[in-house]
Amino acid sequence: MTSKSGASVVIVGGGVSGLSAGWWLARSGYDVLVLDKGIVGWEASGRNGGGATHYQSPLFHEEQRLWPQMDELLGYPTEYQRQRIIVNLTEQQQKRYAKMGAITRAMGYESSELDGKQLRELVPYVGDTALGAIYFQFGGHANPQRTVQAYSWALQDHGGRVLQHAAVTGFKTAGGRVTEVLTTKGDFGLDHLVVAAGPQSGVLLRQLGVELPLTAARAEMIVTEPLPLMKHGGVDGNGLYGRQTLRGNLAYGGGPHEWLEENDGTTIARPSTPLLRNLAKRLAELFPKAAHARVIRSWSGIIENTPDGRPVIDRLNQPDNVVVCTMSGVGFGLSPATGHAIHDLVVDRKCSFADISKLSITRFKDLPADWRETMGWLPPIAEAAHG
C-alpha cells in the first residue's frame, strides 16, 4: 500500500541510528526513505567521541561483532580502529577500571592491565606519573562524521533514499496505524514508520499520542592540531573520552552538560562555551607531553536523555506500525547493532540477536509528570544582560 511518493519504511531522523536502520532495511530489500530536517548526521551523530565499547548494552556483542566488518559492509571508510585504553592517573581510577575489566572478561572479552612503562610505550603523550592503564582487546573507535555519510551512501547504493531538509510537520493515521508522514517537502505514504529523531523524537511522538520522556542537553568537545600518531589512538582517561584521529588530532570531550528547554522540533543552537578551558586543562593533564598542542576547534552536540539514561528501542502497540529509537546519548558506537535491532522490529516485531525487552518504552508509563524537576534536569537561570 505504498503510495507513489512514499516508501515501505519511512525513517524520521537521518542520525546514526536511523541511517543504520535504513541501511539494514535497504540491504534486506526493503524500500526505505530516510527523512531529515537538515543534513544527515548533522547533530549528535556527527559530534561525538566515536567510541565503540559499550559493555552495558544488550547490543554489545553485536556492536563488537559488526565494527571490524563495517568498512567492507558499507563500502566506505569509517576509520574504525580496534581496542581501547583507559589511563589510570589515580588508584581510585585503577580500581574502577579494573572492575570494568572484570565485567567484560566475564562476558568473554579480553583485557589486560598495563603498568606505567607499558602504557608510555603505546601512549607516549601520557606523563611520567601515570600509574598505568587498562587495555581492552576489544571495542574501539571510529570517525563519526565519515561513518554517518558512509551509512547514507551505502543505503542509497542498496536502493534506499535519503531526503534532506525535509522537516516532519505531522502524521496521518487510520485504523490504528500511521499511514502517512507530512513534511515540508511533501507527504509520504508508508507501511512502517521508524522515529529516530534524537531530541525531536518526543515532540514528534506526542503527535501520535505517545509519550517518550526525553530531556536534551548540550555537551562539548575540543580538538587539537595534528600530532605524530601514537601507537594506540583510542585512549580515555582523566574524566575525558575521545581519541587521537588517524590524522593525528586529539579530539576529546567530557565534563558538565547544560540541560536545555524542551524543544519545539526545530534546530537547536550549538554554541561552544568557555568550558573549553576546563577540557584543555584535563587534556593537558592526561597528555602532559602534548600540552604544547594547539587547540584549533571546539564543538558541541545536543543529546537527548531518558530518565534512566538507557535507550528506548521498541515497537509500539498503538499505533502498531511504529518503531521508536532513542539511544539516550550513547548512540554512535552501538549504531551498527541498533540498525539491526530496528530492522528486526520492523520486519519481525522481535530482535533476533538479543533480548532488548528492558529497553521498552512501557517502563516509563508511571513516570511522574515532574520528573525533570525531581532530577534537576532543568536549564540554568541566566543573568540579564544589564547586570
Which residues are CB-contacts of 1 (< 8 A; sequence separation ≥ 6)? 179, 189, 191
- Closest CB 258 distance from another protein, rounded Å: 5
> CA 81 → CA 30, 137, 190, 231, 261, distances in Å?
31, 11, 38, 11, 36
- Sites for another protein among residues 353-372 (CB under 8 A): 358
Amino acid at 281: K
Alpha-carbon distance of 217 to 13, in angstroms, equals 18
DSSP secondary-structure letter at 268? P
| φ/ψ of residue 138, rounded to 5 | -130, -170
- Sites for another protein among residues 195-254 (CB under 8 A): 217-219, 224-226, 236, 239-241, 246-247, 254
Nearer to another protein, 142 or 322 (CB): 142
Alpha-carbon distance of 321 to 191, in angstroms, equals 7
- Under 8 Å between Cβ of 203 and 211: no
Q: Which of 27, 84, 120, 340 binds another protein (CB under 8 A)?
A: 84
Nearer to another protein, 179 or 338 (CB): 338
Q: Does 53 bind another protein (CB under 8 A)?
A: yes
Nearer to another protein, 6 or 140 (CB): 140
Nearer to another protein, 245 or 321 (CB): 245
Nearer to another protein, 55 or 67 (CB): 55
Q: How many CB atoms lie within 10 A of CB 280?
A: 17
CA 103 centroid distance within chain: 22
- Sites for another protein among residues 260-299 (CB under 8 A): 260, 268-278, 280-284, 290-299
- Closest CB 173 distance from another protein, rounded Å: 29
Q: Does 99 bind another protein (CB under 8 A)?
A: yes
3-state secondary structure of 247: coil
- Binding segment for another protein among 99-107, 194-202, 314-322, 343-351 (CB under 8 A)? 99-107
Q: Which of 81, 149, 179, 244 binds another protein (CB under 8 A)?
A: 149
DSSP secondary-structure letter at 73? H
Alpha-carbon distance of 340 to 31, in angstroms, equals 16
Q: Does 113 bind another protein (CB under 8 A)?
A: no
Nearer to another protein, 187 or 258 (CB): 258
- Closest CB 241 distance from another protein, rounded Å: 6
- Sites for another protein among residues 153-182 (CB under 8 A): 153-154, 157, 162, 164-165
Q: Does 55 bind another protein (CB under 8 A)?
A: yes
Beta strand pairing call for 250-253 and 241-244: antiparallel
- Under 8 Å between Cβ of 227 and 290: yes
Which residues are CB-contacts of 366 (< 8 A; sequence separation ≥ 6)? none
Q: Which residue has the cell 604544547?
A: 292
Q: Which of 58, 160, 213, 336 binds another protein (CB under 8 A)?
A: 58
Amino acid at 317: N
Distance between first and last Cα of the chain: 61
Nearer to another protein, 155 or 193 (CB): 155
Amino acid at 152: S
- Closest CB 283 distance from another protein, rounded Å: 6
Q: Which three cell numbers stand for residue 97?
A: 577500571
- Binding segment for another protein among 3-11, 25-33, 173-181, 322-330 (CB under 8 A)? 322-330
- Closest CB 53 distance from another protein, rounded Å: 4
Q: Which of 17, 45, 111, 152 binds another protein (CB under 8 A)?
A: 152
Alpha-carbon distance of 220 to 307, in angstroms, equals 21
Nearer to another protein, 253 or 319 (CB): 253
Nearer to another protein, 117 or 355 (CB): 355
- Closest CB 7 distance from another protein, rounded Å: 16
Nearer to another protein, 192 or 310 (CB): 310
